[in-house]
């Protein structure tokens, strides 16, 4: 709470003033003269704006507690003021219904402020949900891209492995073929030497005879 600016607490003060000013409006709001109703509508609009600002500045929990405290304190002050100055407010007889009327009007403006806070909070949550959806969509796209890249890499690796295996088999076959040819030549040389040795022995035997 220390990092909350003191100027933010001017919004609850403004809300308290607006709620307090509602006590000076006529109770005949929907009469043929719409002036009182217009002023009442403006008060409600400003109360909604105060609730919106409270949610933006003080947050939902802290701001809601402050709004509740403002409504309770304003209702108490209004009841005391109406009780003391009943003649000024046109109440010759201080009835519970009249006191309840002023109390309800104060509570209505407080509820409008809470509605403004709730509306701002809903928009905030909706923005967070949209951000989460965009983040999840981006993650899914990244996962899909990585999966495709992995498939391409695996395919290329398989092709390279098949090519390497084919080249190895080809070289092995060439080496075996060369070995077979060399073996054939060696056999031919050995056969020729055997024939030469045999011929040489026959010639030696003839000379001896």
Residue range 28-86, pLDDT digits in tens? 544 445 556 677 778 888 888 888 888 888 888 887 888 888 888 888 887 777 777 66
Highest mean pLDDT among 13-17, 143-147, 186-190, 203-207: 143-147
pLDDT value of residue 31: 46
Closest CA to 78 of 67, 86, 87, 66: 86
Q: Residue 94, SS3?
A: coil
From the number of C-beta atoms within 10 Å of its C-beta (0-12, 13-18, 19+), residue 25 rates as: middle
pTM (2 d.p.): 0.57
* Orientation angle between helical segments 60-84 and 96-208, nearest 10 degrees: 180
- Alpha carbon distances (Å) from 175 to 69, 164, 171, 179: 96, 16, 6, 6
What pLDDT, on the 0 to 100 scale, is given for residue 207? 61
The two structure tokens encoding residue 112: 């409008």
Let me know if 166 is exposed, middle or buried by CB neighbors in 10 A (0-12, 13-18, 19+).
Answer: exposed
pLDDT of residue 30: 43
User: pLDDT by residue (tens digit) across 83-107?
Assistant: 776 666 655 555 666 677 777 888 8
The answer to whether 23 and 82 have CB atoms below 8 angstroms apart is yes
């Amino acid at each position: 709470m220390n990092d909350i600016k003191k100027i933010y607490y001017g919004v609850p003060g403004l809300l308290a003033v607006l709620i307090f000013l509602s006590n000076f409006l006529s109770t005949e709001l929907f009469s043929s003269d719409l002036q009182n109703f217009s002023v009442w509508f403006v008060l409600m609009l400003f109360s909604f704006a105060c609730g919106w600002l409270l949610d933006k500045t003080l947050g939902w929990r802290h701001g809601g507690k402050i709004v509740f405290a403002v409504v309770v304190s304003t209702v108490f002050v209004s009841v005391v003021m109406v009780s003391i100055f009943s003649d000024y407010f046109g109440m010759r007889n201080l009835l519970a219904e009249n006191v309840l009327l002023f109390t309800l009007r104060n509570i209505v403006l407080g509820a409008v402020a809470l509605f403004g806070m709730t509306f701002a909070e809903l928009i905030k949550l909706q923005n967070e949900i949209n951000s989460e959806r965009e983040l999840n969509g981006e993650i899914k796209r990244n996962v899909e891209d990585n999966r495709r890249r992995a498939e391409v890499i695996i395919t290329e690796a398989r092709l390279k492995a098949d090519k390497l295996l084919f080249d190895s088999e080809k070289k092995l076959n060439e080496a075996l073929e060369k070995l077979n040819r060399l073996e054939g030549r060696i056999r031919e040389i050995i056969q020729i030497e055997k024939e030469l040795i045999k011929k040489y022995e026959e010639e030696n035997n003839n000379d001896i005879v």
